[in-house]
Amino acid sequence: MKIGIAQINAVVGDFPGNVKRLVAAYRECMEAGADLVVTPEMSLVGYPPRDLVFKSQFVPKCLQALDHLAGEIRSVPLLVGYVDHHAEGRGKPFRNAAAWLQDGEIRHRIWKSLLPTYDVFDERRYFEPGESCEPIGWNGHRIGVTVCEDIWTEDYLQRPFYDRDPAAELAARRIDVLINLSASPFHVGKPAVRRALITDVACEHGVPVVYVNSVGGNDQLVFDGHSLVVSGEGKLLAALPGFVETCHVVDLDTAPEIEPPVSEAAADLYEALVLGLRDYVTKCGFSSVCLGLSGGIDSALTAVIAADALGPQNVHGLTMPSGFSSSGSVDDSIALAEKLGIRCDVVPIQSTFESVKAAMKPVFGDLPEDVTEENMQARIRGLYLMSLSNKSGALLLTTGNKSELAVGYCTIYGDMCGGLAVISDLPKTKVYEVSRWINREREIIPWATIDKPPSAELRPDQKDQDTLPPYDVLDAILEGYVEQHLSADEIISQGHEESLVRWIQRRVDLNEWKRQQAAPGIRVTTKAFGIGRRMPIVQRFNG
């Protein structure tokens, strides 16, 4: 049996465009000799559609597109993910579904059985689960079809969420192959977890598993592809590349075992951010971006990602020195722009800063200068950048990292201005790791930018470490508090200083209001600020 895997990049709600992608991939797989072609979860819809499904015409238009797609399918079947109505009985109004298309018809409809409601998922808000799992008979074979969560067993979750095991139900009906249509978002380390999961499922049930995953960025989520085929003995038969659309045909009967692909965490993080930025910008209808270049590592990394994602001709930087900016900051910004081939303009803010202070003098009186004047500078820069964005039509990128965002070391309506926070889920230590990886063969980010102590340069001789602990310490505590949900006492028991832990805890909690006004960011860790983390602003819990 030759199975074609179509790892496609769907756009949420773009039914005509997604049909074109599916037809093109189907034909490519057919030409390569596929007997059956499989596509990701909701590949006709784009994942996740969220509350679009409640719009009165969304599901009807999806079903019209499905009928149109079926008309393009010949004797080689196509498995495609879509959204269907759930009209009968009680329950939620829709189904997360897969359709078996063949000879111009919809031959079979399969309902997703296990609906995740954790982390970034909220499928029980919309969908009714399938009640049973039945194999599809085709060409003398018995095909088991599952959708994403249906194969995630309790061994790979913190606790068992479900009483059913669809893979086991299908295996008990003596299937010949198990197919999984998936939209599994990326976080660092996720591809290896999936490979282990799929291998275990294949070995447990003694059947080959064909796993096809979405690729592409949709809002804050990045889908990395990395589709797989594993034999019933646990041998890896196919491993599609990550972060690119691609098609591949694998013969389950003759494919040789291959070595698992090896990747670096920094490389995966970089590729995820490039893909996430490119798709966010282009799927939203933009063609160019702008950003502030401070001479620091965060803006430098963001600029590299943007130039790679969109082409250097579509990236415009501003470096905006004040009286507190070092000459090195401007020089490093210009050097970076020259290496990347992006435009960089120097627009000083000092005269505007002095004008704002003078305008506020009658209000402030003799009050001494403090963080207010620091924030003025950040907000002036935000004004300049938003003006450039408005005038040019370029999407403004913010450049803050996760460590700063966590503790509020950023200025609302200042450096937080923008439409996409590219590295807001990248801790500062990872910013350095990815930047050094970028420079692994030649200098792209000036080494002076990487090596100098980080500074906001909003007051004389300012350094980040005047306010924050060393970033390796800060990031370790934040990982415990934000990603692992540990209490302050539990983190202290790991050997961290009590006063520091409690200071960081309080800073994280107090700045929830600020993060909820931040631009959406690209998720690359297990717990990003945004879609997967829902904390109240008004609360008094301390633990």
Which residues does the annotation place in the binding site for ATP?
292-299, 399
Whether 69 and 39 have beta carbons less than 8 Å apart is answered as no
384/315 Cα distance (integer angstroms): 16
462/409 Cα distance (integer angstroms): 13
Whether 419 and 386 have beta carbons less than 8 Å apart is answered as no
Q: DSSP class of residue 482?
A: I
To the query of whether residue 92 is one of the catalytic residues in this protein, the response is no
Structure token digits, residue 466: 């005047």
Is residue 192 packed enough to be buried (19+ CB in 10 Å), middle (13-18) or exposed (0-12)?
Answer: middle
30/19 Cα distance (integer angstroms): 16
Closest alpha carbon to 380 in 433, 454, 323? 323
391/529 Cα distance (integer angstroms): 30
To the query of whether residue 339 is one of the catalytic residues in this protein, the response is no
Whether 4 and 30 have beta carbons less than 8 Å apart is answered as yes
Closest alpha carbon to 499 in 509, 491, 486? 491
**Catalytic, out of 2, 29, 41, 133:** 41
Structure token digits, residue 315: 């990236």
409/402 Cα distance (integer angstroms): 10
Where do runs of H (alpha helix) occur along 32-149?
58-71
**Catalytic, out of 62, 133, 148, 417:** 148
Which backbone phi and psi does 346 adopt, to 5 degrees? -100, 120
Annotated binding site for deamido-NAD(+): 375, 404, 514
To the query of whether residue 41 is one of the catalytic residues in this protein, the response is yes
410/458 Cα distance (integer angstroms): 12
Annotated binding site: 118, 184, 190, 292-299, 375, 399, 404, 514
**Catalytic, out of 2, 62, 112, 410:** 112
Structure token digits, residue 537: 């602003």
Residue with tokens 């790679």, as numbered in its chain: 308
Active site residues: 41, 112, 148
